[in-house]
Amino acid sequence: MSSTDTPWDVVIVGAGAAGLFCAGIAGQRGLRVLVLDHAEKVAEKIRISGGGRANFSNRDLDPHAPHRHFISANPAFCRSALSRYTPADFIALVTRHGIPFHEKHKGQLFCDRSADDLIQMLLREAETGGVQRWQPCQVAAVRQQGDALYVLDTDRGPVRSRALVVATGGLSIPKIGATDFGHRLARQFGLRLVDTRPGLVPLTFDGDGWAPYAGLAGLALPVGISTGSGTSRGTFAEDLLFTHRGLSGPAVLQISSYWQPGTPITLDLAPGTDLANTLLQAKTTSRRKLANELATFLPSRLAEAWLQGLAEAQRPVAEVSNKVLAALAERLTRWALVPTGTEGYRKAEVTLGGVDTRDLSSRTMESTQQPGLYFIGEVVDITGWLGGYNFQWAWSSAHACAMALPLPPTQATAAAPAAA
C-alpha cells in the first residue's frame, strides 16, 4: 500500500513495547495497521532493559490495587486495563512463543537468554497481523482532515488514517531516541499534561556534607529507604549503591519516583536490626574496638566513613558511653540527607507525568475530547515501580487500546447481528 491509497485503519507512532504490542493485536483483529518510528533500531529500550534480559512483567502486581505499584495523579486510572490484561495473560503469550524466562525476587520476570527474544516475539505477532512498519520514518506534523481522518506528514510522504495511536514513550534516555513528540501532540489536540520529571533515576549529592562518602563508589548494601509523607510517601527495602556522584541501586531508583527536590530521604543502614540495643549488648560481650564492632553490621569502608572524626572510633566498644552508642545507632538507622538533584533523563529509566488521565478513557485509552486519538504506555501519566511494572502497563494499555479500535466499515457491517 502506498501512502496515497485508501486510509489506514490505524497508524501507531512509536515502535516500542506498547506500540508494537498494540499493532500486533489490532492487525490480528483485521485492521490495516501502519507503525511509524523515527529511530534506526526497533524497540531499543526493550533491548537494553533489565541488563539486556528485559524484566517484562511482575507476578506480584495486583490490578485491583494499582496505588501499590503505580504513581500518577490518578493511579486508579490503570485498574481497568491492568485487570483486563494481566501478567498471567502476557506470561501465556511468552510461553506460547517458547521463550524461556525466570522469576527473580519480588515477582520480577526476566528472559533467560536475551531481551531480543521479546522483541522478536512482538515482531512476529505484528507480522501475523499483517502490520506494516516504516522505520526510520520521521513525522513532521499531524493534522485532521474533516472529522474522521488524521493526516501525518512524514519523510516518506503523507499518511492518512481513521485512528491515531500515540505510543512514543517519555523523555528518558534521549540517546536512544526519546523525544517529547507525544506530549506536543497531546497539547496540539487540547489534552492536558501532568508535569514531567525523571523517574527511577540515581540521586546526586555535592558539598562538604557528602565529602566523607565520595570515595565509596561501588559499595553496595541492603537498606531501608523512605521519603515523603501521607499518600505521597514511599518506603522500600532494597539494595543501595554508592556512586561517584551520589547514590543509586534499586533502593534509590525506587525512592527517586517519590522524592521531591529540596526534601530529604531517610536511610536505615542496618535494616531489621535493633542497632541501639545490639551495641549496648556488645559493651558486655565484645572486646573489639567500636570501628570493628560497627563493621559487623556495615561494610568496613562505610563504617570507617561514618566514624571519621569520632574520638571513640578506636576505643573498645565497652569503653564507649551509652549516650554515644545511642546517638550513633540513631544516626545510622535514621540517616536523613537531602539530594541536590538527579542524574536526569539521560540515566532515568522512566518519565513521571505525561498525558493527563482525566482526558483519556480508562477503558479504551482514547481521548475523551478528540475522537480517534489514543495514548498508550509511558507517554501517559502512569509510572510503575522498578521490577517489570512499567512493561506490564505497556502491554495492558496497548491491549485495551487495540481491542477498542473500531473495525473497518466492511468488517463492522459483517460482524453486526442480523436484523430481527
The ranges assigned to domains in the chain are 10-198+352-415, 202-343
E strand or H helix that includes residue 327: helix 322-333
Would the pTM of this model clear 0.85, i.e. be above it? yes
Residue pLDDT, tens place only, 31-53: 999 999 999 999 999 999 999 99
Residues contacting residue 62 through CB under 8 Å, at least 6 positions apart: 68, 69
All 3 cell numbers of residue 156?
516518506
Which CATH architecture does the domain made up of 202-343 adopt?
Beta Barrel (2.40)
Q: Dig out the grid coordinates for 245 from the structure.
A: 556522584
What's the CA gap between 149 and 275, in Å, rounded?
66
pLDDT tens digits along 286-340: 999 999 999 998 999 999 998 988 889 899 999 999 999 999 999 999 999 999 9
Tell me the C-alpha to C-alpha distance, in Å, between residue 31 and each of 54, 139, 164, 373.
Answer: 29, 22, 13, 16
Q: How far apart are CA 178 and CA 345, in angstroms?
A: 9
| b/e sequence 244-259, b meaning 16+ C-beta within 10 Å | ebbbbbbbbbbbbbbb
Query: Are residues 371 and 406 in contact, defined by beta-carbon separation less than 8 angstroms?
Result: no
Pair type for strands 373-375 and 234-242:
unpaired
Distances (CA, A) of 223 to 124, 220, 376: 42, 9, 34
List per-residue pLDDT tens for the chain, 420 residues long. Answer: 444 568 999 999 999 999 999 999 999 999 999 999 999 999 999 999 999 999 999 999 999 999 999 999 999 999 999 999 999 999 999 999 999 999 998 999 999 999 999 999 999 999 999 999 999 999 999 999 988 899 999 999 999 999 999 999 999 999 999 999 999 999 999 999 999 999 999 999 998 888 889 899 999 999 999 999 887 899 999 999 999 999 999 999 999 999 999 999 999 999 999 999 999 999 999 999 999 999 998 999 999 998 988 889 899 999 999 999 999 999 999 999 999 999 999 999 999 999 999 999 999 999 999 999 999 999 999 999 999 999 999 999 999 999 999 998 776 555 555 443
d(CA 141, CA 393): 27
For residue 342, what are the β-bridge partners?
203
314 vs 320: CA distance, rounded Å: 10
Is 65 in a helix, a strand, or coil? coil
Q: In this structure, which CATH number among 3.40.1160.10, 3.50.50.60, 3.60.70.12, 3.90.550.10 belongs to the domain 10-198+352-415?
A: 3.50.50.60
DSSP SS3 for 284: helix
